[in-house]
A and B are shown apart, each in its own frame.
Chain A
Amino acid sequence: MEIPYTVSTRPDTGLWNAKVGIWLFLASEVMLFGGLFSAYIFLRLDAPPGMWPHGLLNVPVGTMNTAILILSSVTVVLAWAALKMRRYRAYWWYMLATILCGVIFLTVKLVYEWPQKFDHFGAYIKPEALGKYEQYLGNEHAAAKGLPPRLEITGHLHNRAALTDPNIKEYEVYLDPVNADPTNPAMDRPHFLYVPPTHKLAPIEKEDVERATMFLPTHSAYFASYFTITGLHGMHVLGGVLVFIYMWLPVSKKLYQRNPEHLANRVEVAGLFWHFVDLIWIFVFPLFYLL
């Protein structure tokens, strides 16, 4: 028995099956990401002064990834239009471009952006020990300028064993510029371009530290939100890429030869999902990278 309305539309609704299915799925996705975005906004609004990191993400890299995703939306819709015009060769090339865009996005995220965070260290200093590390925090300077206090010392952890070995009593950190030269007016604002740690090594005693981790989800509510939302988004991108690869392989050409409209409908549904994933990123990017 043939399943009805996989290609032609149902007369009373004007829709074919998969179109209804994908929009129901996307509605559930809106609720999923909507909940996460709400959590992020409330966590941020409720964060005490100095406890919400800012300017830790590389804006040019994020902007490039955003442009890649926008480009991929253009190529996927052109692939679908090519199928509608029965130009399989053009469809094949546009689909390949879409797949490449998705792969580049994921590669940048997994090979560059995330590992850079995993390699960065931050230590929140106990309130009673803040004065001891004034040379790295510059809170008198910050207070004079009406800026929020600096509670964290960040940089490259020289002795990584200190994270796990209780016998090591201090962290040795190659300081980020903001902690190496905290009274420099140029450090009063967050930097949105990547600035590597300096060669200035600072010892931080463990007993003065409230908590210390690499930039992992355990570091702060900020990184917990960042990794959760960008990780979930990345999984969606991966899912989309896998579907596109299937639609790009020769197996889809057989469907095209048998019923080109059926393949066009499949590409449209996958394209709707892809646009939704890209639209999510349009909100993720300014929330995490810019604001």
Chain B
Amino acid sequence: MSLKGFHIVFIIFSTLLALGIGGWCVWVDLVEGAPIYLAGAICSFVIAVALVVYGVWFYRKMKRLRIIT
């Protein structure tokens, strides 16, 4: 596997982690009722979306530059 392929795998795992952190924050917020965790959850979900957008941008850019053929 090349670096570009591994990078896409890594971004997928990072996205899953961001979603996991978001879910964890929601769970802690439900248990503790601390607003800071809700803010953390929102940030995590936004980052997850940003990672997906970045992943798609990266794949298209590599393909356009013919680094991914």
Residue numbers of A with Cβ under 8 A of B are 19, 23, 63, 66-67, 70, 73-74, 77, 80-81, 84-85, 186, 189, 192-193, 268, 271-272, 275-276, 278-279, 282, 285-286, 290
Residue from B10, B20, B24, B28 within 8 A of A275 (CB atoms): B10
With A and B bound together, what is the CA distance between A77 and B32 in angstroms?
40
The reply to whether B21 and A63 form a contact with Cβ atoms under 8 Å apart is yes
A97 to chain B, nearest CB (A): 15
With A and B bound together, what is the CA distance between A84 and B61 in angstroms?
13
Residue from A67, A189, A282 within 8 A of B32 (CB atoms): A189
With A and B bound together, what is the CA distance between A288 and B66 in angstroms?
40
Residue of B nearest to A78 (CB): B58
The reply to whether B20 and A286 form a contact with Cβ atoms under 8 Å apart is yes
Residue numbers of B with Cβ under 8 A of A are 1-4, 6-7, 10, 13-14, 17, 20-21, 24, 28, 31-32, 36, 40, 47, 51, 54, 58, 61-62, 65, 67
Residue from B17, B31, B47, B62 within 8 A of A285 (CB atoms): B17
The winner among B10, B13, B58, B61 for most chain A CB atoms within 10 A is B10
With A and B bound together, what is the CA distance between A66 and B28 in angstroms?
20
The reply to whether A282 and B3 form a contact with Cβ atoms under 8 Å apart is no
The reply to whether B32 and A275 form a contact with Cβ atoms under 8 Å apart is no
8 A–B contacts from the bound complex (CB under 8 Å): A63-B40, A81-B61, A192-B28, A275-B6, A275-B10, A276-B6, A282-B14, A286-B24
The reply to whether A77 and B4 form a contact with Cβ atoms under 8 Å apart is yes
The reply to whether B2 and A275 form a contact with Cβ atoms under 8 Å apart is no
Nearest 6 pairs of A and B residues by beta carbon: A77-B7, A268-B3, A271-B3, A70-B14, A275-B6, A275-B10
The reply to whether B67 and A81 form a contact with Cβ atoms under 8 Å apart is yes
The reply to whether B62 and A73 form a contact with Cβ atoms under 8 Å apart is no
With A and B bound together, what is the CA distance between A189 and B54 in angstroms?
36
The winner among A23, A70, A286 for most chain B CB atoms within 10 A is A70
A268 contact set on B, CB distance < 8 A:
2-3
The reply to whether B2 and A66 form a contact with Cβ atoms under 8 Å apart is no
A66 contact set on B, CB distance < 8 A:
17
Residue from A74, A81, A272, A290 within 8 A of B6 (CB atoms): A272
B31 contact set on A, CB distance < 8 A:
189
A163 to chain B, nearest CB (A): 34
With A and B bound together, what is the CA distance between A23 and B13 in angstroms?
19
B22 to chain A, nearest CB (A): 11
Residue of B nearest to A60 (CB): B40
With A and B bound together, what is the CA distance between A83 and B65 in angstroms?
12
